[in-house]
Structure 1
Amino acid sequence: MSWDRATPFTIDLQVGAEDIDGLGHANNAVYVTWLERCAWRHSQRLGLDLAEYRRLDRAMAVVRHEIDYLASAYEDDILQLATWIVDWDQRLKMTRHFQLVRPSDGTTLLRAQTTFVCIELSTGKPRRMPAEFIEGYGAAMAGAR
Protein backbone atom coordinates (compact mmCIF):
# COMPACT_ATOMS: atom_id res chain seq x y z
CA MET A 1 0.00 0.00 0.00
CA SER A 2 1.26 3.46 -0.84
CA TRP A 3 0.56 5.54 2.25
CA ASP A 4 1.24 9.27 2.51
CA ARG A 5 3.22 8.74 5.72
CA ALA A 6 5.09 5.93 7.44
CA THR A 7 3.60 3.65 10.11
CA PRO A 8 -0.13 4.32 9.76
CA PHE A 9 -2.80 2.98 12.05
CA THR A 10 -5.33 1.35 9.70
CA ILE A 11 -8.80 -0.11 9.76
CA ASP A 12 -10.54 -2.19 7.10
CA LEU A 13 -13.94 -1.11 5.77
CA GLN A 14 -16.49 -2.55 3.38
CA VAL A 15 -19.00 -0.27 1.69
CA GLY A 16 -22.51 -1.52 2.45
CA ALA A 17 -25.79 -0.88 0.64
CA GLU A 18 -26.78 1.46 3.50
CA ASP A 19 -23.75 3.66 2.69
CA ILE A 20 -24.87 4.37 -0.88
CA ASP A 21 -26.74 7.56 -1.77
CA GLY A 22 -28.99 8.49 -4.70
CA LEU A 23 -25.97 9.07 -6.93
CA GLY A 24 -24.88 5.45 -6.57
CA HIS A 25 -21.76 5.95 -4.47
CA ALA A 26 -20.90 6.19 -0.78
CA ASN A 27 -22.45 9.31 0.70
CA ASN A 28 -19.99 11.91 1.95
CA ALA A 29 -21.55 11.83 5.44
CA VAL A 30 -20.53 8.16 5.66
CA TYR A 31 -16.89 9.12 5.19
CA VAL A 32 -17.10 11.33 8.30
CA THR A 33 -18.43 8.33 10.25
CA TRP A 34 -15.48 6.28 9.01
CA LEU A 35 -13.01 9.00 10.10
CA GLU A 36 -14.53 8.96 13.58
CA ARG A 37 -14.40 5.16 13.76
CA CYS A 38 -10.74 5.11 12.74
CA ALA A 39 -9.76 7.83 15.22
CA TRP A 40 -11.59 6.04 18.06
CA ARG A 41 -10.00 2.69 17.29
CA HIS A 42 -6.58 4.30 17.21
CA SER A 43 -7.24 6.01 20.55
CA GLN A 44 -8.41 2.70 21.99
CA ARG A 45 -5.21 1.02 20.76
CA LEU A 46 -3.28 3.73 22.62
CA GLY A 47 -5.16 2.89 25.84
CA LEU A 48 -7.42 5.93 25.65
CA ASP A 49 -10.93 4.51 25.38
CA LEU A 50 -14.24 6.00 26.50
CA ALA A 51 -13.88 4.55 30.01
CA GLU A 52 -10.49 6.23 30.39
CA TYR A 53 -11.90 9.52 29.04
CA ARG A 54 -14.65 9.36 31.66
CA ARG A 55 -12.22 8.46 34.45
CA LEU A 56 -10.03 11.43 33.54
CA ASP A 57 -13.01 13.75 32.87
CA ARG A 58 -11.33 14.65 29.57
CA ALA A 59 -11.94 13.97 25.89
CA MET A 60 -10.59 14.99 22.51
CA ALA A 61 -13.47 16.74 20.70
CA VAL A 62 -13.54 17.57 16.99
CA VAL A 63 -13.46 21.28 16.22
CA ARG A 64 -12.67 21.10 12.49
CA HIS A 65 -12.75 18.62 9.61
CA GLU A 66 -11.07 19.33 6.28
CA ILE A 67 -11.92 16.66 3.71
CA ASP A 68 -10.80 16.27 0.12
CA TYR A 69 -13.01 13.77 -1.70
CA LEU A 70 -10.82 12.47 -4.52
CA ALA A 71 -12.73 9.49 -5.94
CA SER A 72 -15.92 7.58 -5.24
CA ALA A 73 -16.44 4.38 -3.27
CA TYR A 74 -19.12 1.92 -4.40
CA GLU A 75 -21.15 -0.84 -2.81
CA ASP A 76 -19.03 -3.85 -1.80
CA ASP A 77 -15.73 -1.96 -2.19
CA ILE A 78 -13.14 -3.10 0.33
CA LEU A 79 -11.25 -0.08 1.69
CA GLN A 80 -8.47 0.73 4.12
CA LEU A 81 -8.50 3.92 6.16
CA ALA A 82 -5.25 5.13 7.73
CA THR A 83 -4.64 7.78 10.36
CA TRP A 84 -1.65 9.53 11.86
CA ILE A 85 -1.35 12.08 14.64
CA VAL A 86 0.71 14.71 12.88
CA ASP A 87 0.70 17.68 15.22
CA TRP A 88 -0.10 18.52 18.81
CA ASP A 89 0.83 21.14 21.34
CA GLN A 90 0.76 18.74 24.35
CA ARG A 91 -1.68 21.12 26.00
CA LEU A 92 -4.94 21.57 24.12
CA LYS A 93 -4.87 20.81 20.37
CA MET A 94 -4.13 17.75 18.28
CA THR A 95 -4.30 17.15 14.52
CA ARG A 96 -4.84 13.86 12.71
CA HIS A 97 -4.40 13.15 9.02
CA PHE A 98 -6.37 10.43 7.26
CA GLN A 99 -6.02 8.64 3.92
CA LEU A 100 -8.68 6.31 2.49
CA VAL A 101 -7.48 3.81 -0.12
CA ARG A 102 -9.15 1.16 -2.25
CA PRO A 103 -6.49 -1.59 -2.28
CA SER A 104 -7.87 -3.33 -5.39
CA ASP A 105 -6.64 -0.51 -7.63
CA GLY A 106 -4.50 1.55 -5.22
CA THR A 107 -6.72 4.61 -5.59
CA THR A 108 -6.73 7.17 -2.80
CA LEU A 109 -10.39 8.12 -2.36
CA LEU A 110 -10.01 10.71 0.38
CA ARG A 111 -7.51 12.73 2.33
CA ALA A 112 -8.63 14.52 5.47
CA GLN A 113 -7.37 16.46 8.42
CA THR A 114 -9.19 16.74 11.73
CA THR A 115 -8.37 19.14 14.53
CA PHE A 116 -9.29 18.13 18.07
CA VAL A 117 -9.35 20.10 21.30
CA CYS A 118 -9.11 18.59 24.76
CA ILE A 119 -12.23 19.28 26.79
CA GLU A 120 -13.38 18.59 30.32
CA LEU A 121 -16.33 16.20 29.95
CA SER A 122 -18.19 17.52 32.99
CA THR A 123 -18.28 21.10 31.69
CA GLY A 124 -17.59 20.85 27.94
CA LYS A 125 -14.93 23.54 28.33
CA PRO A 126 -11.40 23.36 26.91
CA ARG A 127 -8.88 22.01 29.44
CA ARG A 128 -5.24 20.94 29.36
CA MET A 129 -4.49 17.37 28.36
CA PRO A 130 -3.83 15.08 31.31
CA ALA A 131 -0.54 13.20 31.55
CA GLU A 132 -2.23 10.03 30.24
CA PHE A 133 -3.11 11.81 26.97
CA ILE A 134 0.40 13.17 26.59
CA GLU A 135 1.83 9.69 27.15
CA GLY A 136 -0.63 7.82 24.90
CA TYR A 137 -0.93 10.25 22.03
CA GLY A 138 2.76 11.08 22.33
CA ALA A 139 3.63 7.45 21.61
CA ALA A 140 1.63 7.71 18.37
CA MET A 141 3.37 10.97 17.42
CA ALA A 142 6.78 9.38 17.96
CA GLY A 143 5.80 6.49 15.68
CA ALA A 144 4.59 8.81 12.92
CA ARG A 145 7.90 10.63 12.58
Structure 2
Amino acid sequence: MKEYTEIIHVQEEDLDDLKHVNNVRYVQWIQDIAKNHWLNEASKEMLDAYIWMVLTHYIEYKGQAFLNDEILLKTYIEKAKGVTSTRIVEIYNNKTEKLLLRSKTDWCLIDKNSKRPIRLTDQLKNMFT
Protein backbone atom coordinates (compact mmCIF):
# COMPACT_ATOMS: atom_id res chain seq x y z
CA MET A 1 0.00 0.00 0.00
CA LYS A 2 1.44 3.36 -1.06
CA GLU A 3 0.43 6.22 1.17
CA TYR A 4 0.16 9.82 0.10
CA THR A 5 0.15 12.61 2.70
CA GLU A 6 -0.33 16.35 2.91
CA ILE A 7 -0.19 18.87 5.74
CA ILE A 8 -2.69 21.72 5.97
CA HIS A 9 -3.37 24.42 8.54
CA VAL A 10 -6.93 25.15 9.63
CA GLN A 11 -8.00 28.62 8.48
CA GLU A 12 -10.91 30.81 9.58
CA GLU A 13 -12.91 29.88 6.44
CA ASP A 14 -12.69 26.17 7.43
CA LEU A 15 -14.76 26.75 10.59
CA ASP A 16 -18.48 26.48 11.23
CA ASP A 17 -20.68 28.34 13.71
CA LEU A 18 -19.29 26.22 16.57
CA LYS A 19 -15.73 27.37 15.69
CA HIS A 20 -14.47 23.92 14.72
CA VAL A 21 -13.85 22.55 11.23
CA ASN A 22 -17.06 22.28 9.26
CA ASN A 23 -18.09 18.79 8.14
CA VAL A 24 -18.38 20.05 4.56
CA ARG A 25 -14.71 21.13 4.69
CA TYR A 26 -13.67 17.62 5.70
CA VAL A 27 -15.48 16.24 2.65
CA GLN A 28 -13.67 18.79 0.48
CA TRP A 29 -10.32 17.73 1.96
CA ILE A 30 -11.17 14.06 1.28
CA GLN A 31 -11.85 14.89 -2.35
CA ASP A 32 -8.82 17.19 -2.65
CA ILE A 33 -6.29 14.66 -1.34
CA ALA A 34 -7.73 11.93 -3.58
CA LYS A 35 -7.37 14.21 -6.59
CA ASN A 36 -3.86 15.31 -5.61
CA HIS A 37 -2.77 11.70 -5.11
CA TRP A 38 -4.07 10.82 -8.58
CA LEU A 39 -2.39 13.86 -10.17
CA ASN A 40 0.88 13.06 -8.40
CA GLU A 41 1.01 9.41 -9.53
CA ALA A 42 -0.75 9.28 -12.91
CA SER A 43 1.03 9.68 -16.22
CA LYS A 44 -0.07 12.29 -18.75
CA GLU A 45 -1.60 9.48 -20.81
CA MET A 46 -3.66 8.33 -17.82
CA LEU A 47 -4.78 11.88 -17.06
CA ASP A 48 -5.86 12.28 -20.68
CA ALA A 49 -7.72 8.96 -20.76
CA TYR A 50 -9.47 8.61 -17.38
CA ILE A 51 -11.53 10.43 -14.78
CA TRP A 52 -12.85 9.22 -11.42
CA MET A 53 -16.39 9.53 -10.06
CA VAL A 54 -17.52 8.94 -6.49
CA LEU A 55 -19.96 6.10 -5.91
CA THR A 56 -20.15 6.16 -2.09
CA HIS A 57 -18.67 8.00 0.89
CA TYR A 58 -18.58 6.59 4.41
CA ILE A 59 -17.21 8.98 7.04
CA GLU A 60 -16.51 8.41 10.74
CA TYR A 61 -15.89 11.60 12.72
CA LYS A 62 -13.62 10.84 15.68
CA GLY A 63 -12.58 14.29 16.90
CA GLN A 64 -12.55 17.99 16.17
CA ALA A 65 -10.07 20.42 14.64
CA PHE A 66 -9.85 24.12 15.40
CA LEU A 67 -8.35 27.32 14.04
CA ASN A 68 -4.58 27.09 13.42
CA ASP A 69 -4.42 23.33 14.01
CA GLU A 70 -1.91 21.54 11.81
CA ILE A 71 -3.72 18.69 10.08
CA LEU A 72 -2.18 15.60 8.50
CA LEU A 73 -4.16 14.11 5.63
CA LYS A 74 -3.22 10.54 4.74
CA THR A 75 -4.69 8.45 1.92
CA TYR A 76 -4.17 5.08 0.33
CA ILE A 77 -6.02 2.59 -1.85
CA GLU A 78 -7.47 -0.30 0.13
CA LYS A 79 -8.81 -2.25 -2.85
CA ALA A 80 -8.87 -1.95 -6.63
CA LYS A 81 -11.00 -4.36 -8.61
CA GLY A 82 -13.09 -4.25 -11.78
CA VAL A 83 -14.11 -0.65 -12.42
CA THR A 84 -13.82 0.50 -8.81
CA SER A 85 -11.23 1.56 -6.31
CA THR A 86 -11.74 1.92 -2.56
CA ARG A 87 -9.78 4.80 -1.08
CA ILE A 88 -9.19 5.38 2.63
CA VAL A 89 -8.53 8.89 3.93
CA GLU A 90 -7.47 9.50 7.51
CA ILE A 91 -7.21 12.96 8.99
CA TYR A 92 -5.08 13.54 12.10
CA ASN A 93 -4.13 16.41 14.34
CA ASN A 94 -0.46 16.43 13.37
CA LYS A 95 0.73 17.67 16.78
CA THR A 96 -1.20 15.23 18.98
CA GLU A 97 -1.45 12.42 16.37
CA LYS A 98 -5.13 12.07 17.31
CA LEU A 99 -7.31 10.59 14.57
CA LEU A 100 -10.03 13.11 13.71
CA LEU A 101 -11.71 11.39 10.79
CA ARG A 102 -11.59 8.20 8.75
CA SER A 103 -13.37 7.89 5.44
CA LYS A 104 -13.86 5.13 2.92
CA THR A 105 -14.83 6.16 -0.61
CA ASP A 106 -15.63 3.96 -3.57
CA TRP A 107 -14.54 5.54 -6.83
CA CYS A 108 -15.45 4.40 -10.35
CA LEU A 109 -12.95 4.72 -13.20
CA ILE A 110 -14.49 6.45 -16.21
CA ASP A 111 -13.25 6.61 -19.78
CA LYS A 112 -12.84 10.33 -20.44
CA ASN A 113 -14.13 10.12 -24.02
CA SER A 114 -17.07 7.72 -23.74
CA LYS A 115 -17.98 8.77 -20.16
CA ARG A 116 -18.58 5.09 -19.39
CA PRO A 117 -17.03 2.92 -16.65
CA ILE A 118 -13.84 1.14 -17.64
CA ARG A 119 -11.96 -1.69 -15.92
CA LEU A 120 -8.80 -0.80 -14.06
CA THR A 121 -5.71 -1.95 -15.89
CA ASP A 122 -2.96 -3.82 -14.04
CA GLN A 123 -0.84 -0.69 -14.41
CA LEU A 124 -3.48 1.36 -12.56
CA LYS A 125 -3.92 -1.28 -9.87
CA ASN A 126 -0.18 -1.54 -9.28
CA MET A 127 0.29 2.21 -9.23
CA PHE A 128 -1.32 2.56 -5.80
CA THR A 129 -0.76 -0.80 -4.09
Matched residue, 1:24: 19
Q: Does 1:96 align with 2:91?
A: no
Partner SS, residue 29 of structure 2: helix
Moved over 4 A (4+): none
The amino acid that maps onto 1:24 is K
The 1:23–1:48 alpha-carbon spacing in structure 2 relative to 1, beyond 3 Å, is farther
Distance in 2 between the 1:61 and 1:138 partners? 20
Q: TM-score, normalised by structure 2?
A: 0.89
Matched residue, 2:127: 139
Instruction: Structure 1: give runs of 5+ residues left out of the alignment.
Output: 1-5
> RMSD between aligned alpha carbons?
1.9
Instruction: Structure 2: give runs of 5+ residues left out of the alignment.
Output: none
The alignment covers a number of residue pairs equal to: 129
Matched residue, 2:112: 121
Map 1:45-56 onto structure 2 (within 5 A). Answer: 45-48=40-43, 52-53=46-47, 55-56=48-49
Identity of aligned residues (%): 25
> What per-residue deviation string (whole Å, max 9, x for no partner) do you get for residues 26-52 of structure 1?
100000111111111111221257x84
Partner SS, residue 63 of structure 1: strand
Distance in 2 between the 1:136 and 1:124 partners? 18
Q: TM-score, normalised by structure 1?
A: 0.80
> What per-residue deviation string (whole Å, max 9, x for no partner) do you get for residues 60-82 of structure 1?
21111100011011011101010
